[in-house]
Amino acid sequence: MQERIKMALEKFEEGYDCSHAILNAYADLFEFDEKSMECIRMPCGPMIGKPMSVCGAVAGALKTLSQKLREEKESGNSTRKKSELIREFKERFEKIHGSVNCTDLLGVDLNDVQGQTAAMDRDLFHTKCVGFITDSALILEDLIDLKRKE
């Protein structure tokens, strides 16, 4: 588990957005088909030209969890509903951080230049986002582990 968190944080430091840092750390667990790869290649972060709402680390973890559940469903091994696990992930993350909304979590809006500048000036990507990536990975690991035990 710590290895995947470390990998996600390394990718984040290399310039990956939060979502893709998480996705990259778990990519080896899955056999991604073309449809999945198209979804994964889609930008997840705030720089994609539409309002940012969900934290990128949360989005990446939910995409990873969705892929895991999709593969289990296709193999006939799915026992829990996707909606249950997504709800559980969000509840756990919100219990720790109070929200899954990027703007709420950072206290700045990354959709505008002033918010981006404030985030950089206050080093929020290192002081806050690193924790969101770490906690998202920990929750994801726990939910994937729960799925294995069922």
Q: How confident is the model at residue 116 (pLDDT cuts 50, 70, 90)?
A: very high
Question: Domain coordinates of the chain in residue numbers?
Answer: 2-149
| 3-class DSSP state of 101 | strand
Residue 142, pLDDT > 50, answer yes
Contact 118, 111 (CB under 8 A): no
Q: What is the pLDDT of residues 84-105, one digit of tens each?
A: 889 999 999 999 999 999 999 9
Return the percentage of the chain with pLDDT > 70, whole number: 75
Q: How confident is the model at residue 49 (pLDDT cuts 50, 70, 90)?
A: very low
Q: What is the pLDDT of residue 66?
A: 85
Q: What is the pLDDT of residue 135?
A: 98
Q: What is the pLDDT of residue 67?
A: 81
Residue 71, pLDDT > 50, answer yes
Q: Which amino acid, residue 23?
A: L
Can you tell me the mean pLDDT for 64-74? 78
Indicate the DSSP class of residue 34: H
Residue 37, pLDDT > 60, answer no
- What predicted TM-score, i.e. pTM, was given to this entire model? 0.83
Can you tell me the mean pLDDT for 115-129? 96
Burial class, 83, CB count within 10 angstroms (exposed 0-12 / middle 13-18 / buried 19+):
exposed
Residue 51, pLDDT > 80, answer no
How many residues are listed for the chain in this entry? 150
Q: What is the pLDDT of residue 80?
A: 65
Instruction: From 8, 2, 126, 99, select the one nearest 60 (Cα to Cα).
Output: 8
- The encoded tokens of residue 112 equal 């505008």
